[in-house]
Amino acid sequence: MYIPYAIIAIIILVFLFNLFHVLREYERAVVFTLGRFWKVKGPGLIVLIPLVQQIVRVQLRTIVMDIPPQDVISRDNVSVRVNAVVYFRVIDAQRAVIQVEDYYAAVNQLAQTTLRSVLGQHELDEMLAERTKLNANIQKILDEHTDAWGIKIGMVEIKQIDLNESMVRAIAQQAEAERERRAKVIHADGELQASQKLAEAAKVLAQEPQALQLRYLQTLSSIGEEQNTTIVFPLPIDFLSAFIKK
C-alpha cells in the first residue's frame, strides 16, 4: 500500500534536486538545452528543466598546476631535469567547456611541451641566470595558445633545474677558475697602480735631495721600533757629506 507513495516521493525529490541548483560566487554553470548550448548562468540559485537541460560546472578561481619534471637538452647539449608551476584561470566558461574536452589536462600537456621547447633553445648558463626572462617567454606562448579555450595564464615559474653530478662538478670547477682569474686580475691591477705611484714618488724625490734624506731617516726610525738586537744599514756618502768638514 505504501510502495507507490514512496516511489512518488522519490520521483519528486529527484525532480526537485534537478530543478534547483546553487552556485558559489566562484562557480558558473554552462547550460545545455537538449544538447545545445543555451547560456552561462550563476552564481546563486538557478532553475533548470529536468531531463531537458543539463549543466557543466566551471570554477573561475586561479588553479595552481605542478608541471612534472621534464628531461631537457639545452642548446649546448647539457641534459637537465626541469619542473615548473603554472597559475591559470578560466575567463570564459563557455569556451572552456565547448572548445576543449578537458581544459586542465590540455593546459598540463601544453605546458610540458612548451617548457621543453623553450628551454631547449637556450644554453645552460641562460637557464640558470635568466629564469625571469624564460618564465615570461613560456607564459606568453601558453597564453597565446590557451586564449581559444577561454583560459588565461597568469604566471609560470620554473621551480628547479637539476643537473647530474658530473655537470655540478664541472660548474664548480668553472666557478673556481673564474674566481682565481678575477683575483689575479685584481692583484695585477694593484701592482700596476702601486708601480705607477712609486714611479711618481721617485720623480719627486729625485728633484728634492733633502726629501730623500728625510725619507731615509724615517725608514731608519721604523726599523728601530722593531725589537732587533743588531741593525746593519748602509750610510750614503751624500748623507755624510753634510757632516764632513771641508
pTM beyond cutoff 0.85? no
> Once rounded to an integer, what is the mean pLDDT over residues 132-144?
95
Integer Cα distance of 94 and 149 in angstroms: 9
Residue 215, CB half-sphere, CA atoms under 13 Å: how many?
Answer: 10
Which has the higher per-residue pLDDT, 240 or 163?
Answer: 163
What is the CB neighbour count within 10 angstroms for residue 108? 15
Q: How does the average pLDDT of the chain come out, rounded? A: 82
> If pLDDT is split at 50, 70 and 90, which confidence band does 1 have?
very low
3-state SS assignment for residue 50: coil
Domain residue limits, the chain: 3-59, 63-163
Q: What Cα–Cα distance (Å) separates residue 219 from each residue in 118, 183, 215, 228, 229? A: 67, 31, 6, 15, 17
> Once rounded to an integer, what is the mean pLDDT over residues 77-88?
92
Which has the higher per-residue pLDDT, 189 or 177?
Answer: 189
Q: Which CATH superfamily is domain 63-163 in?
A: Band 7 domain (3.30.479.30)
Q: Which secondary structure element, helix H or strand E, spans residue 98, and what is its range? A: helix 93-98
Q: Which residues contact 140 (CB under 8 A, 6 or more apart)?
A: none
Residue 21 clears pLDDT 90, i.e. is over it:
no
Which has the higher per-residue pLDDT, 15 or 160?
Answer: 160
Residue 245 clears pLDDT 60, i.e. is over it:
no
Q: What is the reported pLDDT for 222? A: 65
> If pLDDT is split at 50, 70 and 90, which confidence band does 171 have?
low
Q: Evaluate whether 28 touches 60 at the Cβ level (below 8 Å).
A: yes
Which has the higher per-residue pLDDT, 18 or 26?
Answer: 26
Cell readout for 3 is: 510502495
Residue 232 clears pLDDT 80, i.e. is over it:
no
Q: What is the reported pLDDT for 185? A: 85
Q: What is the reported pLDDT for 34? A: 92
The single-letter code of the amino acid at 242 is A
Q: What is the reported pLDDT for 84? A: 95
Q: What is the reported pLDDT for 227? A: 61
Q: What are the beta bridge partners of residue 33?
A: 36, 53
